[in-house]
Amino acid sequence: MLSNIASSLDNTNQQIALACQKVGRPRHNVLLMAVSKRHGVEKIRQVYDCGQKDFGENYLNEALEKQTVLRDLPIIWHYIGHIQANKTRKIAENFAWVHTVDSIKVAHRLSKQRPDNLPALNICLQVNIDSEQSKSGLLPDKPDLLSFAQEVRRLPRINLCGLMCIPAPKMTKVAESETFTAMQSLQHYLSDNGVKLTTLSMGMSSDLESAISCGATIVRVGTAIFGQRPQLH
Ligand SMILES: *Cc1c(COP(=O)(O)O)cnc(C)c1O
């Protein structure tokens, strides 16, 4: 018998496989990131022991504490939280990926602070795809995004991989896939203009299928694997 968490991970992987199959994409095209924010290290270890290697965290201090406890595991850590410019050094030193870059200043600092003994830092540019007032991210303006991407690409210790979004909640599947299609169209636009990006980081527990049908290469799944997040106290 699989434990709860093992079977949730298994279900998520099957869901991804099925979504890939439906649109004729190979399963290895899509990476599953397990989003472990607010879940304890024992659960992370359990998920790791089921074969999951990539984990995402939103809160820097929480992530650093977990990384210390779990340093015996070769986990690939992704930073997916908001970035304060004065916190970039710790991010540059302790993560393989950063999905939430949306300022030139932050990009420059991450490049400068990335330790020499580590490979270039993989990053995604966060796009505020629904142009929400309250949300971080670059606005989905094609020429602006292109010049931003061109500048970031010149940074020596950064590997610009792709685009990331956190869409506004959607009422329908159609609206959901319109947003993801808009992300794909930004990716194609950048590619047509000489900035080839391999990564689209989009899709969470409730919308990963439509994200995959629109070209997602990294899905970020929390609740479907770990269950509801404990409340902050
Ligand atoms: C929390 C979070 C997720 C995971 O969301 P679930 O709905 O729990 O799957 C994915 N991406 C980001 C940026 C998040 O903050």
Instruction: List, for residues 84-134, the tens digit of each pLDDT value.
Output: 999 999 999 999 999 999 999 999 999 999 999 999 999 999 999 999 999
pLDDT at 62: 98
pTM equals 0.97
pLDDT at 141: 98
Give the percent of the chain with pLDDT over 70: 99
Separation of CA 153 and ligand 1 centre (Å): 27
Q: Which residues contact ligand 1 via a Cβ below 6 A? A: 35, 37, 58, 80, 166, 204-205, 220-224
pLDDT at 3: 81
Mean pLDDT score across all residues of the chain: 97
Output b/e per residue, 193-219; b: 16+ Cβ within 10 A: eebebebbbbbbbebbbbbbbbbbbbb
- Identify the band that residue 233 occupies on the pLDDT scale cut at 50, 70 and 90: low
